[in-house]
């Protein structure tokens, strides 16, 4: 069990706000928890008697399940609340929902919402802690933390590594959280994708931009491949699927000049034959399933640190 240490924030809303030390604290804590899920008895009493709510305004089996398991392996009580975003169109109603949940003496609310900033608004109005489980195209901090944790497990460090993020950067909360986190820990980050899907001025975040997949892969230590959201196809910004696959799909050929110890990540669920071929997804570079395993350790760490913080 990790020692009670210096986490002081009520909420985890994004990696933009966190210091290098806070991110490292989460990653180190996750290391202690990773082993819990390998035990015959996958359970520690750390959060016994704490109440956690999974408040999902957007459905997500994976993230919901990962948090639910993390909470249960910490012995917390967890309740799932799924709300159709359509039924809460007004901000006031959202606030009332929030205040009602708080009034039930909930320690931690894990929230996913299609609107950027929704968890931040929640965090301002409730005394309960809030964990952002993905807000619009803004942040998805636990995903980025598990990505970084996976890199660190594989490479022993993050500082100085070259990490490329490939795909629809504009609409990706995964990209945004990764950029903030990786930069703080000293990685060199390159983003790569169709011109229409890379936000103007993103260089200000300290990343390199390239429209050439070859350049993005060339000397990368880790590659994070974003999921193509088929629903974006209609947006006009998106090339045809065929064109996308031709220029940005990862396959054996595109990897021929890659480093021997490259690792390939993907937040899932993967579109086989689109962002990457099956050969790559199931190949030696892929650490995609490690990410899933690590997701539980990272979420246990976040829940633990928040629950145990000096109040």
Distance CA 105, CA 22 (A): 26
Distance CA 156, CA 289 (A): 18
The order of strands in the sheet holding 263-265 is: 208-210, 188-192, 162-166, 222-225, 263-265
The one among 192, 296, 298, 303 contacting a copy of itself by CB under 8 A = 296
CA distances from 147 to 142, 288, 291, 303, 306 (A): 8, 9, 6, 17, 20
Residues 54-93 that bind a copy of itself (CB under 8 A): 61-62, 65-66, 68-69, 72-73, 77, 79, 81, 83, 92-93
Distance CA 80, CA 104 (A): 14
Residue 139 gets which letter from DSSP? B
Residue 133 CB, nearest approach to a copy of itself (Å): 16
Do the beta carbons of residue 211 and residue 164 sit within 8 Å?
no
The one among 4, 20, 42, 252 contacting a copy of itself by CB under 8 A = 42
Residue with smaller CB distance to a copy of itself, 157 or 272: 272
CA distances from 41 to 3, 33, 50, 64, 304 (A): 21, 13, 20, 22, 18
**Contact between 1 and a copy of itself per CB under 8 A:** no
Residue with smaller CB distance to a copy of itself, 59 or 212: 59
Q: x/- string (CB under 8 A) for a copy of itself, residues 103-122?
A: xxx-----------------
Do the beta carbons of residue 76 and residue 50 sit within 8 Å?
yes
Residue with smaller CB distance to a copy of itself, 165 or 296: 296
Residue 163 CB, nearest approach to a copy of itself (Å): 22
The one among 19, 21, 49, 86 contacting a copy of itself by CB under 8 A = 49
Residues forming the site for a copy of itself (CB under 8 A): 37-43, 48-51, 53, 61-62, 65-66, 68-69, 72-73, 77, 79, 81, 83, 92-93, 96-97, 99-105, 268-270, 272, 278, 289-290, 292-293, 295-296
């Amino acid at each position: 069990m990790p020692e009670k240490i210096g986490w002081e924030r009520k909420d985890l809303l994004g990696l933009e706000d966190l210091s290098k030390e806070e991110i490292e604290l989460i990653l180190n804590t996750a290391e202690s928890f990773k082993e819990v899920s390998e035990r015959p008895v996958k359970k520690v009493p750390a959060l016994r008697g704490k109440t956690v709510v999974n408040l999902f305004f957007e459905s997500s089996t994976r993230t919901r399940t990962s948090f639910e398991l993390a909470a249960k392996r910490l012995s917390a009580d967890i309740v799932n609340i799924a709300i159709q975003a359509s039924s809460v169109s007004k901000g006031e109603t959202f606030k009332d929902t929030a205040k009602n949940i708080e009034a039930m003496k909930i320690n931690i609310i894990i929230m996913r919402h299609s609107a950027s900033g929704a968890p931040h608004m929640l965090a301002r109005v409730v005394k309960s802690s809030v964990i952002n489980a993905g807000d619009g195209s803004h942040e998805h901090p636990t995903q980025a933390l598990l990505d970084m944790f996976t890199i660190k497990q594989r490479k022993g460090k993050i500082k100085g590594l070259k990490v490329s993020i490939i795909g629809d950067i504009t609409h990706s909360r995964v990209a945004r959280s990764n950029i903030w986190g990786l930069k703080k820990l000293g990685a060199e980050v390159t983003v790569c994708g169709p011109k229409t899907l890379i936000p103007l001025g993103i260089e200000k975040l300290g990343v390199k931009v390239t429209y050439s997949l070859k350049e993005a892969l060339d000397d990368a230590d880790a590659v994070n491949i974003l999921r193509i959201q088929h629903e974006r196809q209609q947006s006009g910004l998106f090339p045809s699927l065929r064109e996308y696959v031709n220029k940005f799909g990862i396959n054996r050929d595109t990897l021929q000049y890659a480093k021997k110890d490259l690792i390939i990540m993907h937040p899932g669920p993967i579109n086989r034959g689109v962002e990457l071929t099956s050969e790559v997804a199931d190949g030696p570079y892929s650490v995609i399933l490690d990410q899933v395993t690590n997701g539980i350790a990272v979420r246990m760490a976040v829940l633990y640190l928040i629950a145990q913080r000096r109040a």
